Amino acid sequence: MTKGSLKVIVVEAKKLSDLDLIGKSDPYVKLVLDENKSQQTTIKKSDLSPKYNEEFDFTTDGQKELKVEVWDRNTIGSDEIIGSEVIPLNTVYTKGYHDVWIKIKAKNDKRNHGEVHLILEYAV
Ligand SMILES: [Ca+2]
């Protein structure tokens, strides 16, 4: 497969689960194209409906999906994952544009842990 340019705009998230005892989750979104290609947004303090509007550029060479993870930053202890979901890239590869809300899930737990709005653009 030829190389292409994938732009991912992380627009916002909503209804994120609250993992913090004091205040609310401090979420950031991590985009994982493969084990060598990942990028993340800034951290929004104590916000379960964060607005990011941040753009990320990736070079693709045949990856079939993009993993979207939402993490809670912790100043004491390790960051915790709020949830994740995978976006198949066939739509953006075919149409060049994909505007999507995804529901994130946690391991061993079928409930929603929030929703993330992303816009994907692709050009060869
Ligand atoms: Ca936190």
How far is Cα 112 from Cα 102, in angstroms, rounded to an integer? 10
Report the amino acid identity of residue 4: G
- Residues in the 5 Å CB sphere of ion ligand 1: 20, 26, 72, 74
Whether 1 shows a pLDDT value over 70: the answer reads no
Whether 6 shows a pLDDT value over 90: the answer reads yes
We report the CATH number of the domain holding residue 82 as 2.60.40.150
* Chain centroid offset of residue 117 CA: 8
Q: For residue 21, how far is its CA from the centre of ligand 1 (angstroms)?
A: 8
Express each pLDDT in 57-100 by its tens digit.
999 999 999 999 999 999 989 999 999 999 999 999 999 999 99
| Residue 54 domain boundaries | 4-123
| Among 26, 23, 52, residue whose Cα is nearest residue 39 | 52
Whether 2 shows a pLDDT value over 80: the answer reads no
Q: For residue 5, how far is its CA from the centre of ligand 1 (angstroms)?
A: 33
Structurally, the chain folds into a number of domains equal to: 1
Whether 41 shows a pLDDT value over 90: the answer reads yes
